[in-house]
Amino acid sequence: MQHRLTSPERRQAIINTAIRLFAEKGFRGTTTRGLAAAVGVSEPVLYQHFRTKRELYHAILETKAKESNLRFKTQIAPLLEKDDDCAFFAQLAEFILDRYQEDPQYARLLLLSALEGHELADLFFRRQVLAFYRMLSGYIRRRIEKGAFSALDPNLAARAFLGMIIHHGQVQLLYRDTIVKTSRKRVIEGMVETFLNGIKKSKTRQR
């Protein structure tokens, strides 16, 4: 006997299918009729769960935000008030790259939403990206105040680190990357070392 989905299960099935279709076809290429057919329900049933597409977009973000927050509390939060910079930035890189490796559909969805100028991109930026930047720049600002880092713009430093990691994740997602031929562990170690120590030799080393 086939299992009949409960209302919460069907709602989640709609969200999961929407992520897959949006990632494959884009927002303009995905219709409510196609979404309903892919889920195996009628359009009226679809509208019982989500009255508008905007409600569906919010639900997608809420679902992914909950998943991300659980991981954040486990992987990143314990290191926020410590002074182990290598461990903090390495774990942060792991956290980001996990998203590209384990949930490529959602990563593609976010890229498409930005390219199409879709409202989901703005929602994602305001609700998740800004908070992430505040967290990272706050850590960097605290370490500057302690004298561990040079006096620089914390937001710019955060952008520099995230730029390295996110670019690597996107290249791995979109292309057959053969530029960096090493393990993910070494990639993270190298990027964290580059960020924290720079690549220019100090004057004492040059002598």
pLDDT digits (tens, 9 = 90+) for 153-184: 999 999 999 999 999 999 999 998 888 888 99
Residue-level pLDDT at 181: 85
Q: What is the pLDDT of residues 38-89, one digit of tens each?
A: 998 899 999 999 988 888 888 988 898 889 999 999 999 999 999 999 999 9
User: Is the same domain home to 46 and 80?
Assistant: no
User: Is the same domain home to 92 and 3?
Assistant: no
With b for 16 or more beta-carbon neighbours within 10 A and e for fewer, the 26-63 pattern comes to bbeebeeeebbeebebeeeebeebbeeeeebbebbbeb
Domain that residue 143 falls in: 63-201
User: Is the same domain home to 78 and 44?
Assistant: no
Structural domain count of the chain: 2
User: Is the same domain home to 20 and 117?
Assistant: no
User: Is the same domain home to 126 and 174?
Assistant: yes
User: Is the same domain home to 134 and 74?
Assistant: yes
Instruction: State the Cα–Cα distance between residues 99 and 156, nearest whole angstrom.
Output: 23
The stretch 110-116 carries a mean pLDDT of 88
The predicted model scores a pTM of: 0.86
CATH of the domain at 23: 1.10.10.60
Instruction: State the Cα–Cα distance between residues 169 and 171, nearest whole angstrom.
Output: 6
Type of residue found at 73: K
